[in-house]
Amino acid sequence: MGKRIHDVHIVAAAVVHRVPLVVTLNEDDFKDFSAHVTCLTPAESVRQITKKRV
């Protein structure tokens, strides 16, 4: 389980605190949790913020 436990803790904290979005450089590590959180790369998150401002 090793490194995977860190991803589980991140998702658990996001769910408990009702944070629907996780920004990560390792999107593939979070694919199993897509029912609980949406994952974006930093570049994708910046594009979303930029779209909302226009």
Q: In whole angstroms, what is the distance from residue 6 CA to residue 50 CA?
A: 30
In this predicted model, what pLDDT tens digit does every residue of 1-54 receive, in sequence order?
568 899 999 999 999 999 999 999 999 999 999 999 999 999 999 998 888 776
What integer pLDDT is reported at residue 51 of this predicted model?
A: 82
Q: Looking at the chain, how many residues does it have? A: 54
Query: Is residue 35 classed as helix, strand or coil in its secondary structure?
Result: coil
Q: In whole angstroms, what is the distance from residue 6 CA to residue 21 CA?
A: 16
Number of other residues whose CB lies within 10 A of the CB of residue 29: 16
What integer pLDDT is reported at residue 2 of this predicted model?
A: 66
